[in-house]
Amino acid sequence: MENLSPNESPGSINFNDSCFRQLDVTRKWTRFLSVVGFVFLVFMAVFFLVALTQFFGGGNWFQVLTIVPLVLMGAVYFFPIYFLSKFSYHSKLALNTFSGESLATALRYLKLHYVYMGVLLIIVIFGYLVAFVGMMTMSGLDVSDVLKTPSMY
């Protein structure tokens, strides 16, 4: 077992000044990224509203349905920005008050951000695989022939 100083207890982590500086720099960058992301979402919402009023005025429902991917993209894009913003807020609170609870909350939001991005990546890769198989099927190629390794004979 390690030798613990009188200030330390088993299961605790002590942060030095370097840790606080690194967390503060990370907090500032996540705040910047979340603000830029929210501004982008506002632009997307304005574009959506302009496009909706323009297309809806004509009564062509096909044009209105072309806006659906934009709405989905905005909804998907919102959550990682929100999680970064909450991480930035709670880490600032933790740095100002030296609150372990605020730091735990901040790290929970950072974890949510990365879990969300990981799940999104898995979904995108699966979508690419489905599109690849679909293109091979539609082109008349047998997918199993494409995936086979070439033989030496």
Which regions of 102-143 does DSSP assign to beta strands (E)? none
pLDDT given at position 64: 65
**pLDDT profile of the chain (153 residues), mean per 10:** 56 84 96 97 87 67 73 91 97 93 96 97 96 83 64 59
pLDDT given at position 1: 45
pLDDT given at position 105: 96
Apex 75 CA angle, 71 and 80, nearest 5: 150
Backbone φ, ψ for residue 10 (5° rounding): -60, 140
Its pTM stands at 0.76
pLDDT given at position 59: 59
**SS3 readout for 70-103:** HHHHHHHHHHHHHHHHHHHHHHHHHHHHCCHHHH
pLDDT given at position 117: 96
Map out the domains of the chain as residue ranges.
Answer: 17-142
pLDDT given at position 2: 52
Backbone φ, ψ for residue 142 (5° rounding): -85, 120
pLDDT given at position 150: 65
pLDDT given at position 112: 98
